[in-house]
């Protein structure tokens, strides 16, 4: 729970970015002050087709969202590997938490070395984003 409150946590301890189904969970924060915190942007602005970026600071993994929906808390199959696919699955609560979980899934489009990644994307990972408006 501490990891989810401060950032995002992997669903399984042996996950590797860019491989299998890299499943992450984080909290959703209600209200205007939380719209850009943790995984709240997925709830408020998530859409099929948008980009999802992950980094291990050696590489940047670029995914394109292919699924976005509310699922039941018991729909755990979304976080398991899918044969032949390199995915990221992001899970957060729905506004009421009773209706379910918000799930966004992306398929890996490319992996780029950190030093070859555009500066605008590097900055999104390295800038102090605590005051995003």
Looking at the annotation, which residues are catalytic? 27, 93
Q: Are 90 and 79 in contact (CB under 8 A)?
A: no
| Residue 91, number of CB atoms within 10 A of its CB | 25
Residue that is written with structure tokens 């939380």 in the block: 34
Q: Which residues are within 8 A (CB) of 18 and not within 5 positions of it... i.e. 6 or more apart?
A: 54, 59, 61, 86, 108, 111
Q: Which residue has the tokens 């002050």?
A: 33
Which two three-digit tokens encode residue 81? 């590997």
């Amino acid at each position: 729970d501490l990891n989810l409150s401060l950032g995002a946590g992997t669903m399984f301890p042996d996950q590797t970015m860019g491989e299998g189904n890299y499943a992450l969970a984080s909290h959703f924060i209600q209200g205007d002050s939380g719209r850009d915190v943790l995984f709240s942007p997925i709830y408020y602005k998530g859409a099929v087709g948008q980009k999802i970026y992950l980094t291990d600071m050696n590489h940047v993994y670029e995914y394109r969202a292919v699924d976005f929906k509310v699922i039941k808390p018991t729909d755990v199959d979304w976080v398991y590997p899918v044969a032949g696919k390199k995915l990221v699955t992001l899970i957060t609560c729905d506004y009421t938490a009773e209706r379910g979980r918000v799930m966004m899934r992306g398929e890996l489009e490319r992996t780029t070395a950190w030093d070859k990644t555009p500066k605008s994307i590097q900055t999104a990972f390295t800038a102090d984003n605590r005051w995003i408006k």
